Amino acid sequence: MTSRVERCGGCGRQLWLPRQAVAARCHACRSVTSFPSSSQRWAQVYGSVSQPHHNVVTTVPSNYVAAGPGNGKYPRQGCNNYYIDQPRPAWAPPPVYGRKKALLCGVTYNDTNYMLTGSINDVKSMWFLLVRMLGFPSDCVVILTEEEKNPYRIPTKQNIRTAMRWLAQDCQPGDSLVFHYSGHGSRQKDYNKDELDGFDETICPLDHETEGPIIDDEINATIVRPLPRGAKLHAIIDSCYSGTVLDLPFVCKINGEEYKWEDQRIPTACYKGTSGGIALSFSACSDNQTSASTSAFSGKDVTGVMTSSFIQAVKNEPCLTYGRLLAAMGDAIPSLMPNDTDVIQVYFITRNI
């Protein structure tokens, strides 16, 4: 059913209503709010020569008994002019405050032979960085892990897709978006010939064995291409084969003190940039490498090397540049993991411009 969004006159929360509804009872505060018809809205804006103006929103006392629209989905309870607002059964996007939104996805693949132990720790650490240190409203940070009680917050393929669409939805100039993924990554043959190496990079949802992975083409189309001028996306991807998993046109490979930018564009391929915004992705490794995890950063809990080095660098130097950020991430690893030099040979940052 086509729906519209109105505001409760009692508590102000959003109410998702059928288009024909003229009033609704909020399931949170129980107050009933009536809404004008299209003709009344016209009169409210332009005036009426025969009738006085109508209030756009009218709140009815919370003990008023209201009924559903009588379409069989909701029962009638007396008067049938009111729609009873129900908790949305599907995944409902949280509100947005201050133009900051983040999606944090950690997949551990419990009870499998490829189970990961640090993904949830990565998500918790990233949440602390964004909310406690960088001012992201907690209501605007969506977490998908296997610890979540809400079935729509489990990191399945459909839930990740839905959450990515929410992240980019209604993006405006000035918005700051973050996409963090910690889990398995993979690669598969490129069938639309838009990859220099002939492979699409992927992330692996919890149900990837039955539903398949999410490929870089889809990630790019969902959260990169919609970005308008003035908006910015930062992606932190802690998985194997993640170098170009956002399919951004330019790649910066860092090896020690050497910075090297590479153009990943193919003249015959479709456009993979934004709609004027800036997109940057920090990846754990190149497209043909595997990522690593360690307990060296916390001394106890296992975390992804990529996620932990990123967070530590931002905490230690809040106003650093992107170049300094990558250097600081690289510096953090040998001091904590002197025997694991293979994981620090290359760090990736990809961008759209």
Which residues are part of the catalytic machinery? 184, 240
The residue with tokens 């059913």 is 1
Q: For 9-132, where are the alpha helices, taking DSSP H only?
A: 38-46, 119-127
The alpha carbon torsion through 318, 321, 322, 327 (nearest 10 deg) reads -80
Count other C-beta atoms under 10 Å from residue 74's C-beta. 16
Q: 203-223: b or e for each residue (b if 16 or more CB lie within 10 Å)?
A: bbbbbbeeeebbbbbbbbebb
What DSSP string describes 208-224?
HHHH--EEHHHHIIIII
Long-range contacts at 110-113 (CB < 8 A, ≥ 24 apart): 110/146
Q: By CB neighbour count within 10 A (0-12 exposed, 13-18 middle, 19+ buried), where does 60 fall?
A: middle
Residue 182's SS3 state is strand
**232-238 and 176-182 strand pairing:** parallel
Token pair of 118, please? 């640090």
What DSSP string describes 238-304?
ESTT-TTTT--SEEEEEETTEEEEEE---TTSPP-S-BBSEEEEEESS-TT----EESTTTSSS-EE
Listed in sequence order, the residues at least 6 apart from 201 whose beta carbon sits closer than 8 Å to its beta carbon are: 185, 186, 187, 215, 216, 241, 242, 243, 244, 245, 247, 287
